[in-house]
A and B are shown apart, each in its own frame.
Chain A
Amino acid sequence: MSAMTTSTGATAPAASSSVPSLTSVFVHLKLSLLRNGLKQSGGRTAVYIVSIVFGVLFAAAMVLGFVLLRGSADAATIAVLLTGVVALSWAVMPLFVPGGDETLDPSRLVMLPLTPRPLVRALFVASLVGVGPVLTLFLAFGAALSVAHGAAATVAAVFAVPLTVAVCVALSRALAAANIRLLTSRKGRDLAMLSGLVIAVGMQAVNFGAQRLSRPGGLAALEPAAAVVDWLPPAAAIGAVDAAGDGEYAAAAARLLLTAAALAALVYWWQRSLVRLMVEPDGSTIGASPGGDAREKSAGTGLLSRILPGGRTGAVMERSLRYMWRDPKTKAAWVSSLAIGLIVPLANAFQGAGSIYWACFASGMLGLLMYNQFGQDTSAFWMVAQTLSTTADAYAELRARALALLLVTLPYATFVTVLTTAVLGDWARLAEGLGLAFALLGAMLATGAVVSALFPYSIPQDSGYKNVAPGQTGLAWISIFGGMLAAPLLCAPVIGATIYLHLSDQDSLLWLLLPAGTLYGALLVWAGLKVAAPRTASRLPEILAAVSKG
């Protein structure tokens, strides 16, 4: 670093008249990046504008909400806790958008002759530019507004609002810099892939929590939490405004000082991490060094290969099963299918509005996993294509993939149906529920195999949210919705038989639906594979081209 310092020192006097400060350079860089993000494509511009409009509306609604909250007994609790939640989301944001902010990526700055202190100052100011900080500013403003009563509180708010925003941004940056090795490593990127799932589950939790809290007196449950968060920066700054309004000037000052100290500590931590990062390798290098961990294993490929059949069937099943756990995209798809397949029937059953037929929802969700089989392979499908040449090969390949799916989905669909029945206490209808679930699962696997062959599309591997490559959205919709419409139609005989038996009051024969549905489902899978196999075999180059765009 010292050599770099001297070189900057030497150039500075000569150029000081024309060279802008580092901070303004970074702020301009940030603004250019924001602008260029707009220019990239029409669709993206539209999305950006829509998100800005929504952001503005959201900010306005938030401030309005806080104004309405003014005077309410729970105002302080809500303001403090919301600030805490926002700070928490700033803390986890680097995980969701790793390397999302190019101006702040230290590895891009490592070649420039920069000293740590001006660098951190410039980066910090630049990172205050953006949609996120502006929204946070609105929130902090609203939160302060809801609790600011009196002149002292207003004075406290003048300090508290900018401090809150600054602490949020510094927290996010410091955490990202300290964990950059995790975030840039494969494991970190894998985690980011699952972040979409975390958001989905988090929304359910928020939904559930909101329902609980909206009951009379529900907010009282939050008071102990608020009492703690009240002293945690940056929420402590909002707490200071409240305290100042209540005349507790010492507590208010202490909270403000605490927040300022936290800001200083975070910036210092960030600066130290940056200095260290400039001279250390990033995570990607460490993972790739050879001979890192050479755990000795037996020459065979483990337990799975001993249980599964040999040849293509076993190899394909083994690979599919491994990918369920190891591939973040596949894992995310599985976890969401399994979770939604369980939650929807059970939630309905618990609310008393349920019926055994909701258990078929699990079959539908799990059957979706058969869709776009080759897209799930990404362009590595060439390895499969190289070994497929006849219809018989393609049939074996598709059958093995269906079998791997069945290994998990069949027990799971059974489990969900039994559990739903148990919650409903309607054991008499278990047999027909199972029969329908199996028939639908079979229909989904059958249609899945066919659309996998006819409408393959790429799944981008670098994004946790996008599941269709640009330009193939139409294909994906045809494939998924066509299949989801076709599957119930294919099940029509079983559904028809169920309705007939109920209408004609032949309840004693309803158990027949279990063997009939199972058999019919198996027949559908077989037929689906037979239809899909020749189409797969003859379309290998086209499938490879379609799945190689991600």
Chain B
Amino acid sequence: MPDQAFEGKFDKAGAAPGEGAAPAVRVEGLWKRFGQQIAVSGIDLVLPAGRFIGLVGPNGAGKTTTLSMITGLLRPDQGRIQVAGHDVWADPESVARVKARIGILPEGLRLFERLSGRELLAYSGRLRGLPGAEVDKRATQLLDVLDLAGSQHKLVVDYSTGMRKKIGLAAALLHNPEVLFLDEPFEGVDPVSAQTIRGVLERYTSSGATVVFSSHVMELVESLCDWVAVMAAGQIRAQGPLAEVRGDAPSLQAAFLELVGANGREAAGDSLDWLGGGGNGGGGAR
């Protein structure tokens, strides 16, 4: 399936960015191999600014690898990446501009877990060169909004999954980035924390900032995002406004299964004919 171009498709919500405005992220011919395995095979991706963007795909599609390369945590084998108009892998000045403009919440990487929630925010804000008083003020507000004020003096290592995601999000938002990259921000998060995170993200994008997040929960992406990119086996299968990617399918889930070629697996249950129906099939009966 060819990548869908994005030009001229800003009909949704009317608020298209100006013609000359730089996209939040522009990726050209991006490749990454790990030994024999090709994780990302030559993708092109253009993510418009000011949108809530979902990067969806099955496990192992290359979402995390792509986000890591875009955010400067993993060196690409080949390709070019621009974030907010600045090259991520060029000279140090350009990289510095990118890093100052993005916030990230990676999956599977640790935080400095032997700091308390508040200390973690104080530390990361000061590393980013913000004045101490400003960091403390913002940290207090973020801890309040994210419902972490009661646990702010507890070590992050003792936090639950939802609390970890929230403190990670707070650290990512502390310097008011233009683009926020979140890798599976709702994975393993309870509904209450998820709703809190969601509220903060919606407020953040409504001010014109961009959120790019990866997920494999289609209902979530469908309800949150106005722009999606579908990834499978290291390639972009579709990208564009939500309505367009969904097309005629009844839901994003259906469109997604179609795109990644996962339809027609329902028949796999034939061999489980003993399962259910009153338990008249074998040894476990009583």
Contact = CB atoms under 8 A, between A and B. Distances in A.
Interface of A: 7, 10-11, 14, 186, 287-295, 297, 299-301, 305, 310-312, 314-316, 318-319, 322-323, 326-327, 377-380, 382-387, 389-391, 393, 537, 540-542, 544-545, 548
A294 B150 contact: yes
A294 B150 CA distance: 5
A322 B114 contact: yes
B33 to A, nearest CB: 14
A4 to B, nearest CB: 13
B113 to A, nearest CB: 7
Interface centre among A11, A291, A299, A540 (most CB of B within 10 A): A299
The dominant DSSP class at the A interface is helix
Contacts of B118: 297, 301
B150 A299 contact: no
A403 B99 CA distance: 26
Contacts of A290: 150-151, 160, 163
Interface stretch (B124-132, B198-206, B220-228): B124-132
B72 A542 contact: no
B141 to A, nearest CB: 11
B136 A312 contact: no
Contacts of B155: 186, 326
Interface of B: 71-75, 92-93, 95-96, 99, 104, 106, 108-115, 118-119, 122-124, 126-129, 131-132, 136, 140, 149-155, 157-160, 163, 171, 286
Q: Which residue of A7, A10, A300, A319 has the most chain B CB atoms within 10 A of its CB atom?
A: A319
26 contacts: A11-B286, A186-B157, A290-B160, A290-B163, A292-B154, A293-B154, A294-B149, A294-B151, A301-B122, A310-B126, A319-B112, A323-B114, A326-B114, A326-B115, A379-B109, A379-B110, A380-B110, A380-B112, A382-B106, A382-B109, A386-B99, A390-B92, A390-B96, A541-B72, A544-B73, A545-B74
Contacts of B72: 385-386, 540-541
Contacts, number: 122
A311 B153 contact: no
Nearest to A292: B154
Given A290-B150, A310-B132, A323-B114, A389 B92 contact: yes
B113 A387 contact: no
B127 A316 contact: yes
A387 B119 contact: no
A387 B124 contact: yes
A22 B255 CA distance: 51
A447 B122 CA distance: 30
A187 to B, nearest CB: 10
A380 B127 CA distance: 14
Give the residue among B111, B112, B163 with the most A Cβ atoms within 10 A: B112
B132 A383 contact: no
B158 A541 contact: no
Contacts of A312: 126-127, 129
A287 B127 contact: no
B167 to A, nearest CB: 12
Contacts of B110: 378-380
Contact of A389 (B75, B96, B136): B96
Q: Which of B118, B119, B140 has the most CB of A within 10 A?
A: B119
A362 to B, nearest CB: 26
B160 A311 contact: no
B132 A541 contact: no
Given A10-B286, A290-B160, 13 more contacts: A288-B163, A290-B151, A294-B152, A299-B136, A300-B136, A310-B132, A315-B122, A319-B123, A380-B112, A387-B128, A540-B72, A541-B74, A545-B74
Nearest to A389: B96
